[in-house]
Amino acid sequence: MLRPRITPCLLIRNGGLVKTQQFSNDKYVGDPINAVKIFNEKAVDELIIIDIDATRLGSDPNYALIQRLANEARMPICYGGGIKTSAQAEKIIKMGVEKVALSSALFVNPELISELAKALGSQSVVGVLDVKKSLFKGYSIFIENGVKKIPGKLSEWVTTFQDFGIGEILINSIDRDGMQAGYDLELVKGITGCLNVPSTFLGGAGSLSDIKKLIAQRGLGGCAAGSLFVFKGKYRAVLINYPKFAEKIDLIELGLAEYNSNVRK
């Protein structure tokens, strides 16, 4: 039976695990290898791991760290950060990583998607769209840690990437990043109709209830979160966590039941 994926998202800076708020105010939260070991024990569905400085600094992917992460992980990994060429992506996949995530490179050369889909299979190519709500113009896409705005509509870029053969799209709300105030369900509702490939939403989850609301809004798909799975309590104490299997299944079934009820109305 197909079920929504519930995926922790880990951010890497200078080799350490950090968490941001609206793409700034990053807080060091530990060693990424230790985090992967804990998530192994908790049997997470998948891990998204993003080096948030590689592209901004013009660095190549940190292959040594990627290899260590891949060797340690007992779940599928999606890795992003600094990937600009097909050769870099292929090298990362050969290390045992299941998916590569690209952002800035897609806007420089959308044809890279087709190249990667042919070499790796479209299921291994993920497009990351970091978006921020505009006052009058819907949602705008930003790259390089939210610094550089990309011209054009979100829906148009989604269509473009799908036409080039992207296998999955991750949509991340900059406004909600690290705020733990719930997903931007307006964003989810507005863009879901344009999506015809597997997709994941990230940004804003502060509780498992927020994940249930996202599932109730869209049904199947990915639900990713950062702060929810690395902090605990209102004082944001660092604690790697993830729902137990039975709790996760109950959460998913409740969300899907609400989604199906809404569809029938």
Catalytic residues, by residue number, are: 130
Pick the closest to residue 95 from 67, 116, 121, 115 (CA basis): 67
Nearest to 167 by CA among 201, 200, 191: 200
End-to-end Cα spacing for the chain: 24
For tokens 């939260």, name the residue.
Answer: 29
Spatial CB neighbours of 133, under 8 Å, sequence gap ≥ 6? 139, 173, 175, 184, 187
Alpha-carbon span 4 to 180, nearest angstrom? 20
| Cα separation, 187 vs 189, whole angstroms | 5
Question: ∠ at Cα 235 (231, 212), nearest 5°?
Answer: 50
Give the Cα separation of 156 and 183 in Å (integer).
22
In this structure, is the dihedral angle defined by the CA atoms of residues 145, 146, 150 and 155, taken in order, positive or negative?
A: positive
Dihedral sign, CA of 174, 180, 185, 191?
positive
Rounded to the nearest 5°, which phi and psi values hold at 104?
A: -55, -40
